[in-house]
Amino acid sequence: MHIFVSWPGFDRDGISTGRRLIDAGHELVLAPKLGNRKPDELVQLAAGCAGAIVSTDPFTAEVLGALPDLRVIARVGVGFDSIDRAMADELGIAISITPGMNAETVADHTLALILSAVRKIPQHDSSVKAGRWERIGPLTPGELPGKTVGLIGAGTIGRAVARRLHGFGVTVCFFDAQVDALSGAEKVGSLPELLGRSDIVSLHVPLVAETTRLIDEGAIARMKPTAVLVNTSRGPVVDQQAVFQALRDGRLGGAALDVFETEPPGADALRDVPNLVCAAHMGGISHESIDRMTASATQSVLDVLEGRMPDTVVNRNSVQWRG
């Protein structure tokens, strides 16, 4: 069978990845996703493939309908919002993820973004490389001790971030309707309360209808004008243009974004936006996490194609019901 692989870090010769698939008699179709990918292009690339190990390729309803041989999509990561779940259920296509394998990596990255924004590391890097030595003035940084950090979402990643924050002398609060308690953190009663109290707001929620543009103009208006917004979840959770305009107007102190509404966002979208730290949706990526996630995705594809249903499949009931 043919296996479509779009994850850029997939090792074709790895003993737990590509070599396993080849030894099992499968043929790899390697097409790393390095930028925007259109549905029509995806259909052409994945045509005839029974399995897929993927990045954020747009598996829309139309794409899935045009791939009759497809039986399993293994998403390298935990978010599968780029896959039309309802159509996959209807067609009996298994969707697997790699749960828990990059949570600590994302938490590390979140702390790095917080510190970069508060300490103005990117601005100082550019300044020193340009021959300047701006230790005070507009580039004077802040510090974490005494600040309040608000976590929106207290799942696996949110909890890992909270553990790291405890060593920085901050007050941690969180808002999550599904979580009653978080060690060392105070649960607040509403999102507006968290936004108004926090010096740093960090997002750790999935992209669903209820969280789309969760941080919009109204939410920004509730935040302190000195606050820093950090997003390592999904780009559409934030109204990107509203955030950029708030930064330009001085109504928001800073933002650190690992994810964007369109990825990559392009240089024009980011031009002249002050106090903005950016990364290329790499919160969950490290050498170690790539090894763990791609090995897990490989195993999931092999399991499904060999008639087994692994725990990593999020729509296992629908797929099992359809036989």
Q: How far is CA 76 from CA 46, 102, 121, 143, 275, in A?
A: 16, 10, 30, 35, 31
Q: How far apart are CA 14 and CA 12, in angstroms?
A: 6
Could you tell me where the DSSP H helices lie in 37-190? 39-46, 61-65, 85-91, 103-119, 121-129, 156-165
Give the residue numbers annotated as catalytic, written as ranges: 234, 263, 281
SS (H, E, C) 191-207: HHHHHHHCCEEEECCCC
Bridge partner residues of 94 (DSSP): 72
Return all residues near 59 (Cβ < 8 A) that are at least 6 apart. 42, 52, 73, 82, 83, 84, 88
d(CA 293, CA 77): 7
51 in helix, strand or coil? strand
- The three-class DSSP label of residue 231 is strand
